[in-house]
A and B are shown apart, each in its own frame.
Chain A
Amino acid sequence: MAAPLIAMPTPPPDTELEQLELDLFVQALKRRHGHDFSQYAPASLTRRVRQLVQDHRCGSISALTAQLLHEPDFVTKVVQGLSVPLSEMFRDPAVFRALREQVLPILASYPQINIWQAGCAQGQEAYSLAILLEEEGLYDRSHIFATDFNPDALQRAREGIYPVKDAQLWSRNYLQAGGNLSLASYYSARYDFIRLHDRLRRNITFANHNLVSDKVFCEAHLVLCRNVLIYFSNPLQNRTLTLFRDSLVRGGYLCLGLRETLDFAPVAVDFTAVDAKLRLYRRSSQPSSGSHDESA
Chain B
Amino acid sequence: MNRPDAIVIGCSMGGFNALKVLLGALDPRLPQVLLVCCHTAGNVEAMCELLASHSALPVIEARERGLASGNTVHIAPSGYHLLLEQDRHFALSADERVCSSRPSIDVLFKSAADVYHAALIGVVLTGANHDGADGLAQIRSRGGIAVIQTPTSAEAAAMPQAALDIAGTDYCLPLEQIAPLLNRLCLT
Contact = CB atoms under 8 A, between A and B. Distances in A.
A48 B93 CA distance: 10
Given A4-B88, A42-B85, A257-B94, A234 B65 contact: yes
A231 B114 contact: no
B70 A263 contact: no
B3 A85 contact: no
A11 B117 contact: yes
B83 A9 contact: no
B179 to A, nearest CB: 20
Contact of A47 (B2, B94, B95, B119): B95
A47 B83 contact: yes
B26 interface: no
B63 interface: yes
A230 B64 contact: yes
Interface string A215-235: 000000000000100110010
- Residue picked from B69, B93, B96, B143, most chain A C-beta under 10 Å: B93
Interface residues of B, number: 35
Given A259-B64, A260-B64, A230 B117 contact: no
B37 to A, nearest CB: 14
Contacts of B110: 47
A261 interface: yes
A12 B114 CA distance: 10
A47 B80 CA distance: 14
B83 A15 contact: no
14 contacts: A5-B5, A6-B119, A9-B5, A9-B119, A12-B142, A43-B93, A43-B111, A44-B91, A47-B83, A85-B96, A230-B80, A230-B92, A259-B79, A259-B80
Counting from the closest, the 3 A-B pairs by CB-CB distance are A43-B83, A227-B94, A43-B91
Interface of B: 2-3, 5, 31, 63-67, 69-70, 77, 79-80, 83-86, 88, 91-96, 107, 110-111, 114, 116-119, 142-143
Interface of A: 1-2, 4-6, 9, 11-12, 15, 41-44, 46-48, 85-87, 227, 230-231, 234, 257-261, 263-264
